[in-house]
Amino acid sequence: MSCCRSASGTSLSPGRCAVILDFLSAGLDVFLSPLALGFTFVGIIVGLVVGAMPGLGPLMGIILLLPVAIGLPPVAAMGFLIAIFVGGSCGGSISAILLRIPGTPLAAATLYDGYPLAQKGRASDAIGIAITSSAIGGLIGGVVLVFCAPILASLAANFAPPEYTMLAIMGLFAIVVISGGSIIKGLLAGSFGLLISTVGTDSFSTGLRFTFGSHNLLNGFHIVAVVVGLFAISEMAAQMMKRDLLKIPDVKVARPGLHTISLTLRHYVNLIRSSAIGTFFGAIPGAGGVISSFTSYAVAKAAAKPGEEYGEGAEGGVVATESANNSTVGGTLVPTLSLGIPGDASSAMLLGALLILGFIPGPAMFENNPDVVGGIFMVYLASNVFLLFAGILATPIFVYVLRIPKVYLIPSILLLCSIGTFALQASVFDLQVMLAFGLIGILFRAADYPLAPVVIGMILGPILEANLRRSLLISREGYWIFLDRPVSATLVAVNVLLLVAMAYLTIKRIRGTTKGDLEKATSPEE
Amino acid sequence: MASSRTLNLTALGFLFAVIVIVFWQVETDFKEQGIASGGPYDDASLYPRAIAIFIGVLLVFQLVIESIRGRTTTLTEVIQASDLGRAGMMLAVFAVYLMVLTTIGYHLATAPMICAIMWICGMRNLPKLAISSVAIATSFAFVFEAFLNVVLPLGIWNIFIPW
């Protein structure tokens, strides 16, 4: 199917619609299998559970179950992981509303109105509104994904190695700039990820790099072992340092009904606006759900009608944050699938899963594997529909899960990490890699280094190196090839701007820190 | 306990060690293989070396920031030794588990590991510890072996459960 070439225009012409329908119909065939449907549904349940548990969240859910997913057919595997992403992005609202602890940072803004609503005796309504808003927001993000991803992929079909080189650098820079914290630490973490990806056999010269004579390192580190170690092991160590390991949270059972759908639809303007904001931020690499949910909350608050008291239990507050953070998932899949540039750490893991399954995200996947692309569209849309019904009807189960003390969860998660990582290649070496990266993850967390850029660097590393070397191979003027081509030159300019922004933010931060520390040190409160 | 400044310097030291390894490998192993020079096709050291230099530049910047901060920062976040000890013990137990896993097999190694971590978490009810650790280990084995066809480490005694 020459879908990318058949409609070269970027407007929503009848030809473009036909291309999109082709994708969806190709995807429908593979999606309508018991395995794909079943795992998408299970993924939603798992996602809601990991999202609801403070300290876990969608990224951890994807990481922990990635070893299970890669043993499945491609669309079932992606359905499972995407559904965990979707369910996990929404699940955090349950603990935010009931416990005043957001299960994930994505649900932090839901606290403002979700918890006050629960305090007014409307916990069930608040959870129902959160789930419905998430599902509808996710569906709006899905529509954008279905229409925009093929357009972006067809634009990128004309990209050559120089453009891909600059895109990979841009993806990394964007993550570092927007993800907050120290820019230099973010860049160091990202560069460390790029370096890890060079371990193994060089695909050009077939030379061995950093293998130290070990045959286990010929193919480099397995990304799952690295990611499980960095995130899961270090998170479990962090959880062990808390003092509520035996505590059983006091959670009252909430039973939201289907009437909450109509409650949510009353806020349709807010719903559509917040979903649009979420999708927009999702499509920008690095922006993610946290920024989108806080932004849409601020916009909704600014546009509130008299009588709507945001911060004191307004339904609109929950609608704004939850629709935004779930529509972000659809937005983040646009650059991930069409350009191979992940929007955040969770989509980086989805990209990693696609690579492990044998598919290289980007225009070529749209051209060569329309069934997989269409299947991914279908599982994403279906997972939001499943979220609506499974979420509302099974909330009492998720509330029960919140009562499980950490003393049972921590060893269970460690065990899942070990079995899952071992199952990848039946390799004990992968387990050792996992533990080693767990220790690195602990050090990075303790020193306040972000972990997401390490993963993004590891995913983007091979893309960056291969395209950089290909660019230099086809160039007669060395590095000038990046400025000779208009699109590549534009991307170079964007990267330079991002570098300037990074320098500016770093200087501002140093000035702020030194001033702030001095003030802090002399403050009577401190 | 370790201050944030010490932790930052440790992280910088780790990254510095990474750079040293890159240049050491390029000068030794890469040169022996003939992949440390030439054009973009043959020179496998071009990219890792460029990243290592980039990391080096960033390390210098970060050190400057640390030195500026070092003059002004007086407050550090202190983690209690008992809290840190729990995490350390968990990692030690987990490391021992990974070491003995292939020797004594999943079914013998896992329940004691779970039991030990629960004990470290503070659980002292022995029957509860025993039952829950065996239940968790067995249920995971069932899911992975029976449903996902994963062959878990059998150990030198080839212990497996025919589900």
Render pLDDT for A241-275 as a digit per residue (tens, 0 to 9). 888 888 887 777 777 888 889 999 999 999 999 99
B93 touching chain A per CB within 8 A: no
The mean pLDDT value for A430-437 works out to 93
What mean pLDDT comes out for the span A175-191? 81
| pLDDT band, very low/low/confident/very high, at A4 (cuts 50, 70, 90) | very low
Task: Find the residue in A nearest to B82 (Cα).
Answer: A241
CB of B27 within 8 Å of a chain A CB? The answer is no
**B35 and A202 in contact by Cβ < 8 A?**
yes
Task: Report the residue count for chain A.
Answer: 526
CB A505 within 8 A of CB A177: yes
Binned at pLDDT 50, 70 and 90, residue A339 comes out as: confident
CA distances from A428 to A10, A421, A484 (A): 49, 9, 48
pLDDT at residue A380, rounded to an integer: 95
* pLDDT of amino acid A178: 62
pLDDT for residue A21:
85
Amino acid (one-letter) located at A284: I
- Å from A394 to nearest chain B CA? 22
Identify the residue among B3, B59, B64, B144 best suited for mutation to test binding to A, counting A beta carbons within 10 A and taking the highest: B144
Best of A173, A197, A469 to disrupt the B interface (most B CBs within 10 Å) is: A469
Mean model confidence pLDDT for chain A? 86
The pLDDT score that the predictor gives to residue A38 is: 95
Residue A526 — pLDDT band, cuts 50, 70, 90? very low
* Chain B neighbors of A449, CB-CB under 8 A: 11
**Whole-number pLDDT of residue A523:** 41
| Residue that wins the pLDDT comparison between A161 and A7 | A161
Q: Provide the pLDDT for residue A40.
A: 95
Burial class (CB in 10 A: 0-12, 13-18, 19+), A246: middle
Indicate if the pLDDT at residue A1 is higher than 70: no
A-B contacts (CB, under 8 Å): 199
Closest CB from B35, B74, B90 relative to A207: B35
Chain A closest-CA separation from residue B157 CA (Å):
17
Res A208 pLDDT > 90: yes
DSSP string, A91-157: HHHHHHHHHSS-SSGGGGGGHHHHHHHHHTT-HHHHHHHHHHHHHHHHHHHHHHHHHHHHHHHHHHT
The answer to whether A461 and A197 are in contact (CB under 8 A) is yes
Residue B128: predicted pLDDT: 93
B156 at interface of A, judged by CB pairs closer than 8 A:
no
Contact A412 B140 (CB under 8 A): yes
Question: How far is A283 from chain B, CA to nearest CA, in Å?
Answer: 27
User: Is pLDDT of A353 > 50?
Assistant: yes
Residue B160 pLDDT grade (very low, low, confident, very high; cuts 50, 70, 90): confident
pLDDT surpassing 90 at residue B53: yes
Percentage, residues of chain B above pLDDT 90 = 62
Which of A95-109, A350-364, A390-404 ranks highest by mean pLDDT?
Answer: A350-364
Helices (H) and strands (E) in chain B, counts: 6, 0
Contacts of A443 in chain B (CB under 8 A): 7, 10-11, 14
Task: With CB atoms and an 8 Å threshold, state whether A242 touches B83.
Answer: yes
Residue-level pLDDT at A430: 92
pLDDT(A509) > 80 = no
The interface residues of chain B toward chain A in range 29-88, judged by CB-CB distance below 8 A, are: 29-30, 33-35, 39-44, 46-48, 51-52, 54-55, 58-59, 61-62, 65, 68-69, 72-75, 79, 83-84, 86-87
Predicted confidence (pLDDT) per residue in B60-73, tens digit: 999 988 887 766 55
Q: What pTM was estimated for this model as a whole?
A: 0.84
Q: Do B7 and A443 touch (CB under 8 A)?
A: yes
- Does B87 sit within 8 Å of A241, measured CB to CB? yes
- pLDDT of A302: 87
pLDDT band at A373 (very low <50, low <70, confident <90, very high): very high
Q: What percent of chain A has pLDDT over 70?
A: 92
* A446/B2 touch (CB, cutoff 8 Å), yes or no: yes
Q: Residue A428: its chain B contacts at CB < 8 A?
A: 98, 101-102, 153
For residues A117 and A318, is the Cβ–Cβ distance under 8 A? yes
Residue A9 above 50 pLDDT?
A: no
* pLDDT for res A3: 43
Residue A408: pLDDT band (50, 70, 90) is very high
Residue A519: pLDDT band (50, 70, 90) is very low
Partner-chain contact B44 A209, CB within 8 Å: yes
* Residue B149 CB burial class (10 angstroms; 0-12, 13-18, ≥19): exposed
Q: What is the mean pLDDT of residues A390-402?
A: 82
Decide if A104 contacts A96 (C-beta within 8 A): no
Sequence ranges of the domains in chain B: 4-72, 81-147
| DSSP class per residue in B6-18 | HHHHHHHHHHHHH
Taking residues B7-14, what's their average pLDDT? Answer: 92
Three-state SS at B32: helix
pLDDT for the residue B69 = 72
Rounded average pLDDT over A405-421: 89
How far does B72 lie from chain A, in Å, by closest CA?
Answer: 6
Q: What is the pLDDT of residue A181?
A: 72
CB contact under 8 A, B122 and A241: no
Q: Can you give the residue ranges of every domain in chain A? A: 3-7+15-520
Residue pLDDT, tens place only, A27-67: 888 899 999 999 999 999 999 988 887 767 888 889 888 88
Averaged pLDDT, B126-154: 90
